[in-house]
Amino acid sequence: MDRLFGIETEYGIILDREAATDPVTESVALIKCYRPDDPTPRWDYSHEDPFRDARGFRADKLQEHPDEEAEQKRDRRHRLSFEDMKSDRILHNGARLYNDHAHPEYSTPECLGLFDLVAHDKAGERILLQCARRRSEELGVDVLLYKNNTDFRGHSYGCHDNYLMARSVPFDYVRASLIPFNVTRQVFAGAGKVGIETEAGLKDAARYQLSQRADFFSVEASVDTMHRRPLVNTRDEPHADPTKYRRLHGIVGDANMSEYATALKMGTTALVLDCIEQRVVPSELALADPIQAIKDISQDSTYDWPVKLAGGRPSDAIAVQREYLALAQRHARARDAETEWVLQEWERTLDALARDPMELVGDLDWVTKKWLLTAFVEDQGIDWGDAWLRSLDLEYHSIDLDAGLFYELQNDGAVRRLVDEEDIARAVDMPPGDTRAYVRGMAMARYGAHVRSAQWDSLTFGVNGTEKTLSLHPLVDAADLLRHTQALDATDDLDSFLAAVGIA
């Protein structure tokens, strides 16, 4: 479309029929199964600062989950170095794979194309599935991975969507303009969930709701991601020229199995950011109580989704989304085929949700899962509080192509596809050709033995006893990117490539 974006997904991991899985050990071991013979340069954390807040200050500390102290004690018993605990891998497709708080996390490469991003998100599933199969062979026990956001015991792990945007927009305006959209986006982006949950555990097992993450948000804006989670995260790590850009680090979304839901989630948000950068989002969309609203919308089984606006006027989630759609129709830049697809499908989806959400079986995750579980409840004569349903909920998110419930539906042709298996297979091995991820991924594939360290915006090579750093900051600009990609494709050795891009 018209901005760099990407998705970070933490996966749930268990060993089949093993009551006491050590998720840290298994997550680390699984990540090391990615191309185990490849060089593994150090991920350079020195330029990352999760305490730096976009509102102009640095936080004193980050909020931690109540269980975090106990988790840290368990981590110390592993006797692993920080590098081993993270086990960072820089993938040939430009992505990153690492252990994050006992979850294998896959971060897609930076993409410009919406359907490229969908393919690379699915490529992450395939890469992790391949790692799980290798680890299963080592153990003689099946390693199972789930692309979901909850363990039903009070813990939530994230799916974060990231967008490069102009720093010139005041962050307070970004926050105010984005919150009503974030709160209501779940009507099409929610993954669906059996049960209401708090950090103390399962609160009401018999309720079905739209979102797996909605239960876990308690503040409007903050730098935190693990506890007291915000509707708008204020972490200021642009991974690009900080004088020009900021990275919007969105943590409010669910992990989607549906390609259609992923595309709609990312595409609509990108268009809303177009409107925010043009300062055309009106303050009248503000919600009276957005923290309560995100939970109320998620848990509303009538699907009327009423909300109260800050001025006291009643509204509903569909009406709020229609306001953002109208703004995007008037002001969205880059009127290309993907933009037109987003605008068309956004409107179609909102119309269907207003009539009957069940029209969207096979398109939206929460609807498809609800349809599947409802059929099971009726067939088995059980109620919605039965633990069996939470088990089926989890199995919907299995990334096993042969056993996962979502993939059973896909194999039967019951869900909408946006990319084909050839697209996904290509994304497993190849970075997108129109972003700086191409330089990162292809440099790793060709010169990985020389890469000493890496981060999102640089690569450091060891050359003849010295270190030479290639900054990827300028590669946000199309002309600079083209110069680097052409140099990479035209040269056969590292020295020639570095010389061609002006690194002596």
What are the catalytic residues? 100
Backbone angles phi, psi at 86, to 5 degrees: -80, -40
CA–CA distance, 427 with 412 (Å, rounded to integer): 24
With beta carbons less than 8 A apart as the criterion, state whether 243 and 167 touch: yes
Strand partners, 90: 96
Give the angle subtended at the CA of 121 by the CAs of 118 and 127, to the nearest 5°.
Answer: 140
CA–CA distance, 207 with 300 (Å, rounded to integer): 10
With beta carbons less than 8 A apart as the criterion, state whether 119 and 420 touch: no
Hey, is 75 helix, strand or coil? helix
Which pairing describes strands 451-455 and 42-43: parallel, antiparallel, or unpaired?
parallel
234: amino acid identity, one letter: T
Give the angle subtended at the CA of 446 by the CAs of 441 and 449, to the nearest 5°.
Answer: 100
Which pairing describes strands 229-233 and 217-222: parallel, antiparallel, or unpaired?
parallel
Count of Cβ atoms closer than 10 Å to residue 73 Cβ: 9
Look-up of token digits 């992505």:
95
Q: What is the DSSP string of 479-502?
A: HHHHHHHHHHHH-SSHHHHHHHTT
Distance of CA 465 to the CA centre of its chain: 38
What are the C-alpha distances in Å from 274 to residues 3, 138, 478? 9, 48, 19
Q: Where in 271-412 does DSSP place strands (E)?
A: 306-308, 314-316
Task: Name which of 442, 345, 322 is nearest 115 in CA terms.
Answer: 345
Backbone angles phi, psi at 477, to 5 degrees: -80, 130
